Amino acid sequence: MLIIHVGQFEAFLFDLDGVITLTASVHSRAWKKLFDEFLAKKAAQTGTSFVSFDLETDYRRYVDGKPRTAGVLSFLATRGIKVPMGQPWDSAEQQTVHGLASRKDHYFLELLAREGVQVFDPAVAVLRNARGRGVRTAVASSSRNCAQILRAASLTALFDAGVDGIDLDYLGLAGKPAPDMFRSRASSRRASSAHGSFRGCNDGRRGSSRWRFRPCRRRGEWHASSNSP
């Protein structure tokens, strides 16, 4: 049993999926819908057999914890499929990497609106305990929908700052397994980080440069920005 002495830390950095929320299954089903539609169409066009996206092995190996475009590229490469990269503003109907990523987001938000968000109660209890003691908290996620997920779970007020998939693009940061999101001391040497994805379990330890979270506002949401020396 892990015992966390909240008062010994000045800051906590939490991964989102698998630590605070149970949204991994929502993400995986959105990916499956995207890829199964794409693969079925591809098979019909080429006269080849349709092999569906596997919720367990394909999701874990190729897309879990990665920014959405990296997930598209990673999985399609395993099937020997190449599509144009396109542009970040491509619509969900376009057969480009950015277009497919946009379509995945559309499916994810549909599921989120219909099913809501489940949370890990023990993690939320740690968050509330930390906030009650004046300990700063931040959240990190490769998802571009981090703010929507937190809002749906009524958790936004529990975090001082966060970094998400939008910030990865905006700040030029790499997603998992790179440690960029978890390069954090939360302006303190006495900080703790918690990770959910398998590929994220060592990211916090590998990060070496100082990272300070400070809130900034963009399109009405809060995000994090780099304040590295």
Q: What tens digit of pLDDT does each residue of 175-192 get?
A: 666 666 666 333 333 444
**Segment 97-102 mean pLDDT:** 97
* pLDDT for res 9: 80
* pLDDT for res 46: 93
Q: Domains plus CATH for the chain?
A: 6-22+118-224 (3.40.50.1000), 25-115 (1.10.150)
Higher-scoring residue by pLDDT: 194, 71:
71
Higher-scoring residue by pLDDT: 6, 149:
149
If one counts every other C-beta atom within 10 angstroms of the C-beta of residue 214, the result is 13
- Residues serving a catalytic function are 15, 17
Residue 101 CA neighbour count, 13 Å, CB half: 28
**Segment 161-177 mean pLDDT:** 77
**Segment 22-32 mean pLDDT:** 92
Which position has the token pair 């693009």?
169
* Confidence grade of residue 168 (pLDDT, cut at 50, 70, 90): confident
**Segment 103-112 mean pLDDT:** 95
CA angle 35, 41, 46 (to 5 degrees): 120
d(CA 98, CA 86): 6
Smallest Cα–Cα separation from 63: which of 24, 37, 95? 24
Q: What Rg, from alpha-carbon coordinates, does the chain have?
A: 18
* Confidence grade of residue 215 (pLDDT, cut at 50, 70, 90): very low
Omega of the bond prior to 67 within 30 degrees of 0, cis? no
* Confidence grade of residue 37 (pLDDT, cut at 50, 70, 90): very high
Q: Which of 21-30, 67-76, 94-103, 189-198 has the lowest mean pLDDT?
A: 189-198
* Confidence grade of residue 211 (pLDDT, cut at 50, 70, 90): very low
Contact 41, 33 (CB under 8 A): no
**Segment 200-223 mean pLDDT:** 35
